[in-house]
Structure 1
Amino acid sequence: MTIAQKPILSLNQKLLLSVILLFAAFSLCFIGFQYNREKEFKVELLNTKLQDYNARLYEEICDSGNIEKTLNKYTKRHTIKGLRVTIITLDGKVIYDNLKKDYNKIENHSNRPEVKQALSKGNGYDLRRTSETTGYPSFYSASLYDKYIVRSALPYNMDLVSSLKADYKFVWFTAIVTLILTIIFSRFTKKIGTSIAQLREFTRRADRNEALDMDMANAFPNNELGDISQHIIKIYNRLHDTKEALYIEREKLITHLQISHEGLGIFTADKKEILVNNLFTQYSNLISDVNLQNAEEVFSLPEIQKITEYISKAQKRPAGNEERRMSINLDKNGRIFVVECIIFQDQSFEISINDITQEEEQVRMKRQLTQNIAHELKTPVSSIQGYLETIVNNESLPKDKLKTFLERCYAQSNRLTRLLRDISVLTRMDEASNMIDMEKVEISSLVQSIIKDVALELEEKNIKVNNALNKELPIRGNASLIYSIFRNLMDNAIAYAGNDISINIKCFREDESSYYFSFSDTGVGVAPEHLNRLFERFYRVDKGRSRKIGGTGLGLAIVKNSVIIHGGNISAKNNQGGGLEFIFTLAKS
């Protein structure tokens, strides 16, 4: 790419130079014209003077009969230095010449320019001609009268040249006026040059898409060009700000499209790609049986033929205020998609593809959860109802049987209470997790209080607890949920791990943001196929045994949700030496 060379002269310098040259040419023409006019005026003035002399001389001739004697006296009496007087007949013969005694021998003067002019116009002159008689240049002036032509001539010497010389005062006047006008125009072109230089800087910065401050606008001269330039800069700044705002909004839109959880594609009216995000490409290929080379090939898929037909029909109708959209559901490759099309006013359109497989799965799970809850509630309610019905219908029931039935009713009511409590806790975590109060919690002291609460159960099963937590493990969290994490893990180990085991609690790692905990036991462990489902609601490894023990099937689900609320995650694995280990993290704040 060639770099444009900087011009030798700036625009204002070229303009000033052009004006100066124009003024100079005008001045030279004016001086030349005025000089010729002055010279002609002097010549006319001298000619008039000699014509007057000729007229007086002719009057003398008319009053006297002797031409030569009269003329000699007259020329001596009215002396003009170097003046030559010649009397010529109408046919060009010289009959008198005051400077030539033998004037009879002078050749015919009918071919002289001044004589020719006098014969044709009445008078004439010749500015500078060398006389054939005297041999030196002279100024001739001839006048035609009735019988004669009177011609007077002055020698073209320094005196005559000086008298005919033009007055040069007008030259100085013209030069001074030209200089003043040059200075004035120089200042004017300097202002223009300043404005042009500022405009050049403006275009240079505008080409680089730079914002312009008002100091640059105020730098222009206070004239019409400056006002226009200031308005241009103000308009440019408004356009630049608008462009920047649109660019920011465009970047926001692109960012939104790229991080959106739905596949989005925007196309022109003729189905050319404007912008698509990664999910649109991914979902399109999941719907298609072959890999698509570009986003525009999506319109050839038979699965969305209804959408394609709708777009073609809708674009043929005039755009109105009504919203033009259509959506279809697709079940492909084990996934459920919702494909929706929205057509805009300019006939461009947007296609969105949403994978609702997870939502459908959640609906299914909620339906299953409802069924599980109904089933779990049905068991204790049925038991309580059966025992109470037996008691009501048998008035003679022995006291020991009555006591046993009442104890079983009480146990089932406790189980029902725990079940409702756990369901309430899970519901609160699902629906209002952001409204849970957070405070400073000391995990070590909280775990120590749990160990004291279950001391009798630990003693009954001969379970030893090794609490290796440091005395100070502060986090910002909800004390009730933190308690439920360790309490449910403790209850789970006591209920299912077996007798004569050890429970080990420790924080094995710490970084800037989280604590890493291990809760393990040396019990019977869990079969590998159950590990991934331990945190599902109402999932039981041994359903019959769990109900006998009194578990609700929601404890580990509560643990998982509580951990997630506190910015962590949890997983379970079997220890190599036997037993089950839960590894989880909790955020410090």
Structure 2
Amino acid sequence: MSLIRKHKLNYGWRLFLPLVGLLWLVIIAVAIYQYKNESKLREEIVNDEIRLLNSRIIAAYEQELDLMPVIQFAAKYYENSALNGIRISVYDNHGNLLYCTGTPIPSSVNGKTPPELIAANETGHGTSLRRSDVDPTQAYYYFGVRTSADGKIYVHTAMPYTSALSRELSVDKGMWLLILAMAIGTTIFAYFTTRILGRNVIILHDFATKAAAGEPLPRIDNFPHNELGDISRQIYKLYTEKDAAINRSEREHSIAIKATEDKIHMTRELSNNINHELKTPVGVIRGYLDTIATHQEMVPEMKQKFIENARNAMDRLCNLLNDLSSITRLEEGANSISNEDVDLNDLLFNISTELESINMTNNIHFSYDIPDGCIVIGNYNLLYGMMMNLIRNADFHSRGENCGIRLLSQNSREYTFAFADDGVGVGEQHLSHLFDRFYRIDKGRSRKVGGTGLGLPIVKNTVTVFGGTIFARNRQPHGLEFVFTLMKARQEASSEA
């Protein structure tokens, strides 16, 4: 079976061979039909010549002319034609031979009347093609008989089947050459036509085979520029679009699954972190309260210190719950946050004024360099909280003395700001994790200074909610810098455009 398939003719040949076979059958049938018609026509011409000769001899008889000169003239006349050698015999109604040229034609053969004579007796004229019984060396004769109107004589003519007559009756070779040329031309035309069609089908078959096997598809410009090629290109386009849609759907499905898995993982990790972060202040508070409750004899100074420590742990717990509420609001209720035009210079002035009345943990100094009229799209309270988180982060962890924000650049759509401190910076391996929830470089120190581990994630989510971006980098020679963007207010953006 595999050997048969290996040597199986392709579509082009399977289309070409039956088509050419059918065309040749039609050509051969037409040729045979034409040959018979041509042969019959030429025979009719010879018979017409014989009948015409007989009619002229009868006409001479009816005009009472001497028939012998007429017969001799006719024989002489046909010497240079295909009827050279024609025999003419004139009989009376009693079967007596009156005149003849050449060998007389008998009025009966073996006692039987010739068929042409029988027809002449019935209709006045008759012709037939038969062998001569008088001269068997000759092949076939064309016989003709014509009877006079008064029935007293009849003219009997015979034309031997000579080579000259054979040529006259033969079909012209030019017709055969024309038929052969037509057959060859038709074959060539059919070959190239079926070759084009076969090539289209072969290319389409190759495309379907490779598509089914998942192999690289043939180039679309391989398809010819005709109707079948157009259909092939449409099929190719539909397949590639469907394949692209399937691949896109698979990628989106894979991304959705990955996002769902990441979300589940993040939720589980967040739950574990929240559980851990909540346990710490709760455990501290409970520990101090249990100690106070079980040691009634505790000196007042020590009891006051324990109460103060429990209050600090309670403050940290409240800050953690507030930060959790803020980040949940930013992540899940971003669409419900109302946007407004915020004058960043006024906001930073208010923060700077408030910080003067607040004792920062490490007494870090805050400054800002923002031009007047720097109006951004945002929410005043959220932007206020974002800036406070950046300042607290610098105060808690930078170990520096100064921090501040400045305008780096702007375009028609947004401002780019940089918040930096002059502290020790962080290791490069920590930069990509600074915005992860509960990520701490020095866990013990972070808890000691009261950080919740959610300040920088809140900062990133706030910037993202308002259409901006943020990243962290170390400064030279030291310190940490946060570069972020905020969208310009509409009227300001339109005035600059």
Change in CA separation of 1:59 and 1:105 when aligned onto 2, cut-off 3 Å: closer
Of 125, 128, 152, the match for 2:127:
125
Letter paired with 2:5: Q
Deviation of the 1:221 alpha carbon: 0.9
Alpha-carbon displacement from aligned partner over 1:47-85 (angstroms, at most 9, x marks no partner): 1111111011112223349xxxx4433222322332211
For residue 224 of structure 1, report the CA deviation from its aligned partner: 0.7
Residue 416 in 1 paired to residue 307 in 2? Answer: yes
Residue 85 of structure 1 corresponds to which residue in structure 2? 88
In 1, Cα distance between equivalents of 2:261 and 2:108: 119
Determine whether 1:75 maps to 2:71.
Answer: yes
Counterpart-to-counterpart distance in 1, 2:148 and 2:428:
141
What is the rounded CA distance, in whole Å, between the counterparts of 1:102 and 1:145 in structure 2?
19
Residues 242 and 21 (structure 1), Cα distance of their counterparts in 2 relative to 1, 3 Å cut:
same
User: Which residue number in structure 1 is paired with residue 30 of structure 2?
Assistant: 30
User: Percent of aligned pairs with the same residue?
Assistant: 18
User: Which of 153, 165, 171 is matched with 1:160 structurally?
Assistant: 165
Match of 1:243 among 237, 246, 258: 246
Residue 199 in structure 1 maps to residue 200 in structure 2? no
Q: 1:102 to 1:179 in 2, by over 3 A?
A: closer
**Residues 107, 114 of structure 2: 8 Å contact kept:** no
| Alignment-derived partner of residue 143 in structure 2 | 140
Larger mean CA deviation between 240-249 and 225-234 belongs to: 240-249
Match of 1:316 in 2: none
- Pair 1:484–1:203, CA change in 2 (3 A): closer
C-alpha spacing 1:233/1:480, structure 2 compared with 1 (3 Å): closer
Aligned to 1:279: none
Please tell me whether the aligned partners of residues 86 and 158 of structure 2 are also in contact (alpha carbons under 8 angstroms).
yes
After superposition, the Cα gap between the structure-2 partners of 1:475 and 1:2, relative to the gap in structure 1 and judged at 3 Å, is closer
Aligned to 2:386: none
Matching residue of 2:178: 173
Q: Which residue of the other structure, out of 206, 223, 231, is the alignment partner of 1:220?
A: 223
1-structure distance, mates of 2:96, 2:220: 87
Would you say the 8 A contact 1:106–1:133 is kept in 2? Answer: no
Structure 1 contact 380–413 (Cα < 8 Å) conserved: no
Deviation for aligned residue 1:6: 3.1
- The higher-RCO structure (CA 8 Å, 6+ apart) is 2
Q: Which residue of 2 aligns with 1:270?
A: none
1:98 match: secondary structure: strand
Asked if the contact 1:126–1:141 (Cα under 8 Å) also holds between the matched residues in 2, the reply is yes
Q: Secondary structure at the match of 1:173?
A: helix
**Residue in 2 aligned with 1:116?**
118
Q: Which residue does 1:298 correspond to in 2? A: none
CA–CA separation in structure 2 for the residues paired with 1:82 and 1:108: 25
- Any idea what the Cα deviations from partners look like across 1:511-561, whole Å, max 9, x if unmatched? xxxxxxxxxxxxxxxxxxxxxxxxxxxxxxxxxxxxxxxxxxxxxxx99x9
Alignment of 1:21-420 (within 5 A): 21-64=21-64, 70-78=66-74, 79=76, 80=78, 81-87=84-90, 93=95, 95-96=97-98, 98-99=100-101, 107=109, 111-127=113-129, 129-135=130-136, 136-137=138-139, 138-146=141-149, 147=151, 148-210=153-215, 212=217, 216-251=219-254, 373=285, 376=288, 408-420=299-311
CA displacement at 1:94 relative to structure 2: 5.8
Distance 1:44 1:104, change over 3 A: closer
Q: Which amino acid aligns with 1:77?
A: F
How far apart in 1 are the matches of 2:101 and 2:250?
104
SS for the counterpart of 1:228 is helix
Tell me which amino acid in the other structure corresponds to 2:142.
F
Work out the CA distance in 2 between the residues paired with 1:18 and 1:33: 22
**1:478 and 1:22, CA in 2 relative to 1: closer, same or farther beyond 3 A?**
closer
Partner of 1:20: 20
Partners of 2:280 and 2:445 in 1: CA distance: 28
Equivalences for residues 486-505 of structure 1 within 5 A: none
Q: CA deviation at 1:412?
A: 2.9
Cα 1:199–1:419 shift into 2, 3 Å: same
How far off is 1:177 after superposition?
Answer: 2.6
Judging by fraction of residues, say which structure has more helix.
2
**Relative to 1, partners in 2 of residues 1:29 and 1:116: Cα closer, same or farther, differing over 3 Å?**
farther
Q: How many Å separate the matches in 1 of 2:191 and 2:106?
A: 70
Structure 2 CA distance, aligned partners of 1:425 and 1:62? 153
CA contact (8 A) 1:84 1:153 kept: yes
AA at the equivalent of 2:233: Q
Distance 2:174 2:428 in 1: 106
Amino acid across the alignment from 2:117: V
SS of 2:5's equivalent? Answer: coil
Offset from partner CA, 1:404-461 (integer Å, 9 cap, x none):
x9xx54443332222233344466568759989599x99xxxxxxxxxxxxxxxxxxx
> Could you say what secondary structure the match of 2:134 adopts?
coil
Structure 1 unpaired stretches of 5+: 263-354, 388-404, 443-472, 489-557, 566-589
Partner of 1:483: 445
CA displacement, residues 94-149 of structure 1 (integer Å, 9 cap, x when unaligned)? 6446257887885478642323343455433223x221123323221233443144
Classify the secondary structure of the residue corresponding to 2:146.
Answer: strand
- What residue is the counterpart of 2:5 in the other structure? 5
Distance of aligned partners of 1:100 and 1:231 in 2 relative to their CA distance in 1, 3 Å threshold: closer
Look up the equivalent residue of 1:132 and give its one-letter code: D
How far 1:18 sits from its partner (Å)?
A: 2.1
